[in-house]
């Protein structure tokens, strides 16, 4: 397989510049450098690193917990003029590494919908080719995830990534269906966050039917509803009204108060917050709760209406650690732009195990 000279990266359309800024900083932090090639609004960029092979970058510290990249792989140049009758032939010809997983994917967006259908149709045949050649090795610990990233019906990148550093979902998109009873679309944000940030074992342990939560900025109640479905008792803080399904739930207490001054009488397991305010104010609030032991873990959203969003994320992280002070090493903070996030990112702060 050709070694690859670039990372092919998928992100939310409109966030290519933020994604490029993040990649450049990640590279600098590990002594590498690089430049990005992107077209705004495409949700796609190529990042050409200097000084390091892109696959070893992904495997190292560079590849830990990305914020704006939803999916990435180390790839070579774009294959063009693929024959309609045998697109897979040229794409898979040089793949000579053990493959444990395969994703065929496209950038996000309406313009890519027909291509996404083609991508779905190619998965089975591509896996068949790899199996027939003996390259399909799901149990091989050294096997990689193989990516076919379609740029057009006749053009694609072939990439690979370490399994634990990329998503098994095409485009890194966790697709969830809105439940008809969910009070708001925001429910999907929290549901996705729980899927992305927690392992199945974590979810089992952390939602064992005995947990408590405070939901700041709860109305109309999508997040409270998600927590209730996982058996959590919720204090829902908002001056706005909760959906009727929650208003009559005895395990939900609606508190009409200001999120920035509210204090529970006893500590809770979960603090969640979807208040629309400055990232600095929200991270400070979250860090204060954790520092004082008022909550064990916090899951919250930072709204990013500003232009330099990567910088805003970095500032928020630094402020969070500053306010946590001596308690900071005891917590990890994961920040990620989820599929159901718009001009925002979702953060999960938890005690280090």
Footprint of ligand SAM on this chain (CB under 6 A)? Answer: 183-184, 186-187, 217-223, 237-240, 258-260, 274-276
Q: Least CB distance from residue 221 to ligand SAM, whole Å?
A: 5
Assess contact for 224 and 236: CB atoms under 8 A.
Answer: yes
Q: Which is nearer to ligand SAM, 2 or 276 (CB)?
A: 276
Q: Which is nearer to ligand SAM, 193 or 350 (CB)?
A: 193
Q: Least CB distance from residue 224 to ligand SAM, whole Å?
A: 7
Q: Is 278 a catalytic residue?
A: no
Q: Which is nearer to ligand SAM, 95 or 272 (CB)?
A: 272
Q: Least CB distance from residue 298 to ligand SAM, whole Å?
A: 14
Q: Where are the alpha helices (DSSP H) in the chain?
A: 16-29, 54-59, 88-92, 113-133, 187-197, 200-206, 222-229, 244-247, 279-291, 309-324
Counting every residue written for the chain, the total comes to 353
The sheet with strand 44-50 has its strands ordered as 33-38, 44-50, 6-10, 71-75, 155-161, 144-152, 99-105
Q: Which is nearer to ligand SAM, 72 or 207 (CB)?
A: 207
Question: How far apart (Å, rounded) are the C-alpha atoms in residues 105 and 98?
Answer: 20
Q: Least CB distance from residue 74 to ligand SAM, whole Å?
A: 37
Q: Which is nearer to ligand SAM, 227 or 333 (CB)?
A: 227
- In order, the DSSP letters of 28-84 are HHTT-EEEEEE-TTSSEEEEEEESS-HHHHHHSGGGSS-SS-SEEEEE-SPB-S--G
Question: How far apart (Å, rounded) are the C-alpha atoms in residues 303 and 312?
Answer: 10
Structure tokens at 269: 């397991």
- Give the Å distances, CA to CA, from 79 to 5, 57, 124, 156: 14, 23, 20, 5
Q: Which is nearer to ligand SAM, 172 or 217 (CB)?
A: 217
Q: Least CB distance from residue 273 to ligand SAM, whole Å?
A: 8
Exposed/middle/buried for residue 267 (C-beta within 10 Å: 0-12, 13-18, 19+): middle
Q: Least CB distance from residue 296 to ligand SAM, whole Å?
A: 20
Active site amino acids: 303
């Amino acid at each position: 397989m050709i070694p690859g000279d670039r990372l092919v990266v998928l992100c939310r359309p409109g966030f290519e510049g933020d994604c490029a800024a993040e990649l450049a900083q990640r590279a600098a932090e590990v002594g590498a450098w690089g430049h990005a090639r992107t077209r705004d609004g495409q949700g796609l960029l190529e990042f050409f690193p200097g000084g390091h092979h892109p696959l070893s970058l992904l495997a190292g510290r560079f590849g830990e917990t990305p914020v704006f990249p939803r999916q990435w792989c180390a790839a070579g140049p774009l294959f063009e003029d693929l024959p309609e009758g045998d697109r897979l032939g040229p794409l898979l010809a040089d793949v000579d590494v053990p493959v444990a997983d395969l994703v065929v994917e496209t950038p996000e967006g309406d313009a890519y919908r027909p291509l996404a259908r083609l991508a779905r149709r190619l998965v089975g045949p591509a896996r068949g080719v790899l199996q027939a050649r003996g390259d399909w090795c799901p149990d091989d610990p050294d096997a990689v995830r193989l990516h076919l990233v379609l740029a057009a019906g006749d053009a694609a990148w072939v990439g690979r990534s370490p399994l634990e550093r990329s998503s098994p979902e095409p485009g890194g998109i966790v697709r969830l269906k809105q439940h008809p009873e969910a009070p708001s679309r925001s429910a999907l944000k929290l549901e996705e966050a729980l899927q992305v940030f927690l392992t199945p074992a974590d979810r089992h342990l952390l939602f064992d039917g005995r947990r408590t939560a405070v939901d700041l900025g709860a109305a109309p109640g999508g997040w409270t509803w998600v927590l209730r479905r996982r058996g959590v008792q919720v204090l829902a803080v908002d001056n706005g009204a909760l959906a009727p399904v929650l208003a009559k739930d005895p395990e939900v207490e609606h508190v009409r108060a200001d999120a920035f001054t509210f204090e529970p009488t006893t500590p809770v397991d979960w603090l969640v917050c979807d208040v629309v305010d400055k990232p600095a104010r929200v991270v400070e609030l979250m860090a204060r709760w954790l520092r004082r032991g008022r909550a064990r873990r916090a899951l919250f959203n930072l709204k990013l209406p500003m232009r330099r969003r990567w910088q805003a994320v970095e500032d928020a992280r630094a402020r969070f650690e500053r306010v946590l002070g001596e308690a900071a090493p005891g917590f990890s903070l994961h920040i990620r732009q989820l599929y159901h996030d718009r001009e925002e990112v979702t953060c999960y702060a938890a005690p280090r195990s």
